[in-house]
Structure formats: C-alpha cells, structure tokens
Amino acid sequence: MATPFHNPSCQHCKDRFMSIFCKAEPCNLDEISDAKVCSVYRKGQVIFHEGAYPFGVYCINDGKIKLSHSGDDGREQIIRLVKAGDIMGYKALLSNERYTATATALEDSSICFIPKDLFLNILKKDASLSFEMMRILSSELRKAELKITHLAQKPVRERLAETLLFIKETYGLEPDEQTLGVRLSREEIANLVGTATESAIRLLSEFKKDGMIELEGKKIRLLDIPEIIRTANLQD
Amino acid sequence: MATPFHNPSCQHCKDRFMSIFCKAEPCNLDEISDAKVCSVYRKGQVIFHEGAYPFGVYCINDGKIKLSHSGDDGREQIIRLVKAGDIMGYKALLSNERYTATATALEDSSICFIPKDLFLNILKKDASLSFEMMRILSSELRKAELKITHLAQKPVRERLAETLLFIKETYGLEPDEQTLGVRLSREEIANLVGTATESAIRLLSEFKKDGMIELEGKKIRLLDIPEIIRTANLQD
DNA sequence: GGCCACGAATGACATGGATCAAATGAGAAT
DNA sequence: ATTCTCATTTGATCCATGTCATTCGTGGCC
C-alpha cells in the first residue's frame, strides 16, 4: 500500500523541534533515525485500522491525518487531527492493546514508522523522552475531557464554531491568512463536531450568512474570528 | 478543612498492589511513604478545585471521589470516578497547568498527598513507575475517547445503561451482589451520563419498570445485568 | 410530633437536531 | 464532452430530550 522511500534523518527533520523527539537524548535519536522506515501514504489511505495490533509508533514527517473511531452504527467520530511532528499510535502501544482508532491520511503524507521494541526500550531508558510522553498524554487527556463536557453541554452551533477554531489551531491558515489549512468534507466536519452531516451543512450556511465565514467548495475562509469565538462561547 | 492523621505506610497500604506504586522500586516507595501526608475528607468536601495550582498528587487510601468539570453554564460534568488505590491530580501536575477538574469526596475518604517535587523526581528516576504512569494515562485517554464517541452517537437510554455498568465496574457491588457500591444523587448520575436530571430519573424509572433494576432511595440494585448490557448496546 | 428544605418524581410543553427524501452540483472515469 | 457517482444542499417532518412547573416524599432539626 504505502510507498517507502529513502529515509529522511530524524536529526534533520524539519519538525524536529516541535516533536516529542526534540526531548530525546541525541544518541537515542540516532538510534531511532537508523531504525525507522518512512513511507508515503496517499490521501484517503489508511495507515492503521481500529482493532489491529500495533507494531510501532508513527511519526508524521509531512502531511495531515485524522484519527477516528467507527461508532457502533458505522458513523465515524473523529477524535484527533494529526500534523507534521506529531506522533500517533502510542496509546495502543503503551497500554498494550489493539488500536481503538483508524488513522486515515487527509492528504498525501510521509510518515515514519518506529518499531515497537525500539520505541519502548528507548522510552524506558530516556527519562526526558518519557517525561515528554507523559506531558503529551496529559495534554491529550485534558483536551478529551474538555470535549466530553462540551459535547454533553453545548449546542451544535457552539461546537461547530469551536471546531472551526480548533482546525485553525491545528493546521493553521493558508498564506491568505483566512483559509483553513486543510480541506475536509462536510461529513468529516460533522464527525469532528459530533453531529449529523446535514446539521453541519445548515449551520455552516448560517455562519456564512452571518458573515463569519466564506465557503468555496471545501475551502473555508474565516472572515470574522472574534465573532466565531463569541459564537463558540468559550470560557477557558 | 481536612483532618490529617497518623500516616499509614505505603508499604502496607491495602491497595498497594492495585495502585500505580506497586510498580515503583521499593526504595522510592519508602521515600514516598515518608514524605506523604494522609488526611480524612468528609463526604461532600472538596479535595482540590478547578483552576487551582497543583502542589502534588493525591493517592486514595480509602474512599470514593468524583472528578468533575464545571461547565460554562454551571452544570457539572463528571469525568472520572476515583477509588481506593487510584491517584488523582497527576494530569495538571504533568502538564504543569492548573486543575481542570474539581475533586469532591462522595463519601468519607482518607487520602494521601504526595508533594509535587518528590513525585516528579521519583518519576524521573524510576522508569518502571513512569512506564506505569504512561499506561494509566493511555488507558484514561482511551476511555475518554470512547466516551466522546458514545456521547456523540448514542441515545441517553443506552448511555445510562452503560453508566450503570461503569459504576459497577468501578466501585463494585455490595455484599448482596446486586446493589451498586456507591450512593449517587440522581443529579450526579445525570452528570455522569451527560443529560438532564429529569431525563435520568425518567429512564431509571423505565429501567425499573422493565425489571432491569430496583430503586430504593439512592440504592440501585442491578437485577438483570445481561439485559442492561443489551440496553447499553455495547460492541466493544 | 411537626415543620422545613431539598431531592425525587411526574406531567406538560417546546424545540434542537436527527432523519428521510429529493434536487442540485461537482469531480472522476471513459 | 458525456455519463456516472458521490458530495452537497435544501426542504419537510418527527422525535428524543431539555426545560419549566408542580407535586410528592424523606430526612434533618427544632
């Protein structure tokens, strides 16, 4: 499926300083760099499947990925958006269980694979790396818990506005400083918000009518961010 | 507020083998045991407040605690139930931020406090402890993500059934093998499920009418667990 | 015992949002 | 270009669930 290619070295990875591995001790980084395998996945390709056993962690060299649960009735719930410098698949590895989510490329991406044993061994001997790992886990957990509260208490309108801001935080804006840096289908947006596709569409149209955003195919331009923030009704 | 009393030693803590510290190296456990302070909190007392800065982690010696976010409109969302042997407050500590949740005793509880510096230092030098910490974080994260999916996709009825099972998993049953091992108000149940109190009450009555449970004040007896599982409609 | 206060239960009602259906548009394949 | 397929949009409808209001029950306290 995925196309392997000559490994970029971790030491010179452009996202090295944003990634967890910037905390790793240099000798461990060398070891990781030698052992990893980098592959290219095309848009839509699945990197790993919910239910499968993990054999390592993935570190995004370049690209954008969604992680999603497939709900009982088949509807998917997107639980995380992954960007360059991020790692994924660590949760299953650490708790030694199967993947609980499926990773799908949102656009063509180059992704490095680090074998399980190596990763775990280095984690065990590199205190600063494992501390960083804990920091990441804590922060993901905090975000997840906040999402639980909002899902339980906020109306779809507010959650959609919040989601737009979240996408902006994650993937940033294009050079025009307005367009969200990723193209998602309406269904994907809905699955991120946790609502029906039609509801997401309707509310996006409303946002547009209210002058908060502009829509052009899958492009979304944020015109009035302060108003979006107000709509999201954030307190924290 | 809380009443300190003579410290039980960690080495002889009855929940030692279920707690994270069973993984700590013995010498580190000694250190923790010496430094910790154990206090008694009465039912309803707050152990720490959302928004406050953390100065250490709490390890439950005995008792039951709820961790909750207070939503923007004041409604609370319970995000975790804590039992003897569990620790709490580590998330804020690890990510070096303020508490995002409030911890309140569900019944009289004795809780040990481990100072921040000590905990972090030991975490840094005790690989097996920090590995265990990562395991806990991963598992919490997995649970949180599952909850997000269910909150987004399942009707209240299913979530309530699931919550009853979750309470049973967490706190077990009383000696009669039917009654849930904790007394929660209807409001607390609703805040766990993520619904309005009235909805929780109505559905509990339905469950009772259907013979799944029996209600007697705050006592909830699970009469037909297989049927509750069916109602929860769990696939995983 | 009887009052008070608060949790629990029930009913009536309003509505946000899901679902179903149909029409339109846009991108991919030939 | 033409067709086909799938995403998007819009409209109509329905229902689960939240909200408001009231009553009921229970435990605490004087």
pLDDT of A6 reads 60
Over residues B94-118, the pLDDT tens digits come to 999 999 999 999 999 999 999 999 9
Q: Find how far residue B193's CA is from the centre of its chain.
A: 14
Helices and strands (DSSP H and E) totals, chain A: 8, 11
Residue B201 has pLDDT above 70, yes or no: yes
The two three-digit tokens of residue B76, written as one number:
């609370």
> Nearest Cβ partner of A152 from B127, B131, B151?
B151
Residue B96 vs residues A189, B53, B112, B116, B119: alpha-carbon distances, Å? 31, 9, 20, 10, 13
pLDDT of the residue at A72 = 77
Q: How confident is the model at residue A5 (pLDDT cuts 50, 70, 90)?
A: low
User: In the predicted model, is pLDDT for residue B9 greater than 60?
Assistant: yes
Binding-face residues of A in 49-108 toward B, CB within 8 A: 69, 71-73, 75, 77, 79, 90-92, 94-97, 100-101
Distance from C-alpha of A84 to C-alpha of A15, rounded to nearest angstrom: 7
CATH topology of domain A155-232: Arc Repressor Mutant, subunit A (1.10.10)
Stretch among A87-91, B127-131, B157-161 having the lowest mean pLDDT: B127-131
Evaluate if residue B6 carries a pLDDT over 70: no
Q: What is the pTM of this model?
A: 0.94
Out of A127, A130, A140, closest to residue B141 by CB: A140
Residue A235 contacts B, CB cutoff 8 Å: yes
Amino acid at A212: M
pLDDT digits (tens, 9 = 90+) for A99-131: 999 999 999 999 999 999 999 999 999 999 999
**pLDDT tens for residues A159-200?**
999 999 999 999 999 999 999 999 999 999 999 999 999 999
A4: confidence class by pLDDT, cuts 50, 70, 90: low
Answer yes or no: is pLDDT of A58 > 90: yes
Nearest nucleotide, C1' to the C-alpha of B208?
C9
| Percent of chain B whose predicted confidence (pLDDT) is above 90 | 81
The reported pLDDT for the residue numbered B65 is 97
Q: For position B4, what pLDDT does the model report?
A: 59
Report, as an integer, the average pLDDT of B13-33.
Answer: 83
CB < 8 Å & 24+ apart, contacts of A195-198: A195/A156, A195/A159, A195/A160, A195/B152
Q: Where are the domains of chain A?
A: 10-150, 155-232
Query: Tell me, what's the pLDDT at A2?
Result: 60
CB–CB of A104/A50 below 8 Å? no
Distance in angstroms: CA A190, C1' C18: 13
Q: What is the mean pLDDT of chain B?
A: 92
The residues of A between 198 and 217 with beta carbon within 7 Å of nucleic strand D are 198, 201-202, 204-205, 215
Q: For residues A16 and A132, give the distance between their C-alpha atoms in angstroms, rounded to a whole number.
A: 14
Question: Which nucleotides of chain D are near protein (any atom < 7 Å from a CB)?
Answer: 7-12, 16-21, 26-27
The average confidence (pLDDT) of chain A is 92
Was domain B10-150 assigned CATH 2.40.30.10? no
Region A56-79: what's the mean pLDDT?
92
